[in-house]
Amino acid sequence: MPRFHRNENPVIIAGAGPCGLVAALTLEKAGIPYVIYERTTTEKLCSNAGSGIDMAPTAIKILDDYLGLAGKNWMAPYEIMYISDMKGKQIALWDMPSLKLKKDSERLSFGTANRARLQHNLLDALNLKDVNGDIKNDDDRLRCSTSVVGYQNLDGLVRVELNDGTKVDALALLACDGIHSAIRKHMHKDVDDSLNYCGQECWWGKTTVKPGSELSEELKRLPSTSMVAIGTNEMPGVFFSDEVAPNEHAWGYVLANKTPPNANATNDLTRRGGSVLTTEEKKREIDEVIADRSKVLQLMLQEPSADEITRAGFFDRKNLDLSYINGRVALLGDAAHPQSPMMGQGANMAIADGYVAASRLLAALKGTNDSTVEQALLDYDCKLRRKENNIVIKKARKYGNWAASKSRFPCFCMKMMCKYMPPSMLVTEMMSGDKSNKKFVHAMRKDLQLEVM
């Protein structure tokens, strides 16, 4: 059944990833009508091609405290982080809960989440799943296999064009449709808005560890299943892996490559733009490359079949100064500010975007302040947020260059930092990108006279 009157225009949200679902849940709690258009099918919506995401304090607070996911087991705090070289020799061991961070409350306020599990939790909170745990096909609030391809701002509304040619009127349009956003392409069709290749490509996937297997026995010998392997000039790259569910490990292997891959041009929605490997490509690009790496690393990457592994390049935007707003249309998450994952902030920024944009929008729609819809979205696209976003994007470029470098000096520096710098300092630097999110949310809640963080 529809959740709003037929004569009431909804807010349209393009994309049902974490960003879009956070925006929807924020509107749901305030009773604002919305419809989510998602171009993939219900079967592929929460597909899990090995995607683990780092979670920082601000996004965790949004999800747990403001949106009610506390106690839903959607993430796991980091416990012990095992740092080694590519041969498996230990460099450092970080006891994350005991780190002396600036605030005691932040000690467990970062961890890892499985993207699919997070989506399922948000869908549960929105009551968009049936009694069997399947995503509903008959709820007017979620329209899968349908995408937004264009729009037109009109007086008091935005007319949204769908991929089947249908046009739908909306109060506002929130574009959460990723780095290849059709809405962004429409918004900036008259300017150069090309992607910027960051110089690294990544192979990522998930590995299910079978009890009693060789990999299971090798993992038992390690002090932690959360691991990072640092490269050298002879064995370049960086490998990271974490157990995101019982016996299920999400991993990524990053290497420098001056030539941008074509992976991100594919339309494989399961991999959100990445491309699946062939058996021959897996042998050439992974199996042969890791032949002299540690046993755990070899087994972790050899266990999945080729079609379970994704290859993708790291991209952001060349022009970081283009607007996120056009009238009643706003770009959120990767549609607004895509970035390399080397700062671990992509999902966190997207969650903050979804929460802040929807909160400002609903305040204007409910008349709790003097803002119009257009002004509410302009307040979302504030100068401070843009400046802080660009800092994080540029830092992610730098860290990617260093972590995946094939040069002796950067590799040596990475190893020495991990070995001798206090872990609390490194973790604080890793979490520095979250300052932007904290300021962003704080400013919104202060403006709307909500309890601040």
Sheet containing strand 80-85, edge to edge, reads 90-95, 80-85, 226-230, 238-245, 248-256, 195-208, 309-317, 275-276
Q: Token pair of 48, please?
A: 């899990």
Whether the per-residue pLDDT at 221 is higher than 60: the answer is yes
- Looking at per-residue pLDDT, the higher value among 224 and 327 belongs to 327
The pLDDT assigned to 270 comes to 42
pLDDT in tens, 333-382: 999 999 998 888 999 999 999 999 999 999 999 987 778 999 999 999 99
Cα 331 from Cα 56, distance rounded (Å):
22
Q: Torsion over CA of 82, 85, 89 and 93, rounded to 10 degrees?
A: -20
Cα 22 from Cα 357, distance rounded (Å):
10
- Please give the backbone phi and psi of residue 385, each rounded to the nearest 5 degrees, phi first: -60, -45
- Looking at per-residue pLDDT, the higher value among 15 and 270 belongs to 15
The pLDDT assigned to 61 comes to 93
Whether the per-residue pLDDT at 52 is higher than 70: the answer is yes
Q: Under a CB-based contact definition with an 8 Å cutoff, are residues 344 and 426 in contact?
A: no
- pLDDT band, very low/low/confident/very high, at 205 (cuts 50, 70, 90): confident
The pLDDT assigned to 59 comes to 94
pLDDT in tens, 232-258: 999 999 999 988 778 888 899 999 988
When mean pLDDT is compared over 44-48, 202-206, 444-448, the highest value belongs to 444-448
- pLDDT band, very low/low/confident/very high, at 409 (cuts 50, 70, 90): very high
Whether the per-residue pLDDT at 281 is higher than 50: the answer is yes
Return the bridge partners of 227, or none: 82, 241
The pLDDT assigned to 1 comes to 33
User: pLDDT exceeding 90 applies to what percent of the chain?
Assistant: 58
pLDDT in tens, 63-88: 999 999 988 888 888 788 899 999 99
The pLDDT assigned to 271 comes to 40
- Please give the backbone phi and psi of residue 200, each rounded to the nearest 5 degrees, phi first: -135, 150
Task: Specify the 3-state DSSP secondary structure of 328.
Answer: coil
Cα 236 from Cα 255, distance rounded (Å):
7
DSSP structure string for 230-299: E--SSS-SEEEEEEEETTEEEEEEEEE-SSPPSGGG---GGGTT-EEPPHHHHIIIIITTTTTS-HHHHH
Q: Token pair of 445, please?
A: 């809640």
- Looking at per-residue pLDDT, the higher value among 73 and 147 belongs to 147
C-alpha atoms less than 13 angstroms from C-alpha of 2 in its C-beta half-sphere: 11
The pLDDT assigned to 220 comes to 92
The pLDDT assigned to 105 comes to 46
> Whole-model pTM?
0.91
Average pLDDT over residues 405-427: 87
User: pLDDT exceeding 70 applies to what percent of the chain?
Assistant: 92
C-alpha atoms less than 13 angstroms from C-alpha of 314 in its C-beta half-sphere: 30
The pLDDT assigned to 390 comes to 94
Tokens 């249908």 locate to 166
Whether the per-residue pLDDT at 53 is higher than 90: the answer is no
pLDDT in tens, 165-174: 999 999 999 9
**CA distance readout (Å), 178 to 162, 182, 184, 250:** 16, 9, 9, 21
The length of the chain is 453
The pLDDT assigned to 49 comes to 54
The amino acid sitting at 9 is N
The pLDDT assigned to 7 comes to 53
